[in-house]
Amino acid sequence: MVSEATLRAILDTVRHPVVFVDTDHVIRYLNRAAEQRYYRQRGLSDLVGSSLFDCHKPESREAILRQYGRLEAGEHEFFVKINDENERVSVVAVRDRNGALLGYYERIEPAGGASP
């Protein structure tokens, strides 16, 4: 069995921000790239334990719930948009071995797919 510390270290090697949110839309994990982006670059404080809805504009709530519905309906991953920094934003379902939805993560990467 791989330890939690090892799993975190693995996710920290991903160069792109990864933000994991549970099924109650609470932020549970940010990898190192996400911490860099949201804490240092944008000046936000610790987001772990915060509602995803508190981090977005109120009008985003409906879009987030609609996206979550797609995951509940069985989609694995889908493209959301190209953001202002020319990055591809996708949402990916996280499921247990039986297929139950545990949450989801937002993956942000250069639109061309290249490493930064």
* Mean pLDDT of the residues in the chain: 88
pTM over 0.85: no
Q: In the chain, where are the structural domains located?
A: 18-110
Q: What is the CATH number of domain 18-110?
A: 3.30.450.20
Q: Which residues of 58-70 are buried (b: 16+ CB within 10 A; e: fewer)?
A: eeeeeebeebbee
> Which has more confidence, 101 or 52?
101
Does residue 50 have a pLDDT over 60? yes
**How much is the pLDDT for 116?**
47
The whole-number average pLDDT for the span 12-31 is 93
Q: How would you list the strands of the sheet with 77-82, edge to edge?
A: 27-30, 18-22, 101-110, 87-95, 77-82
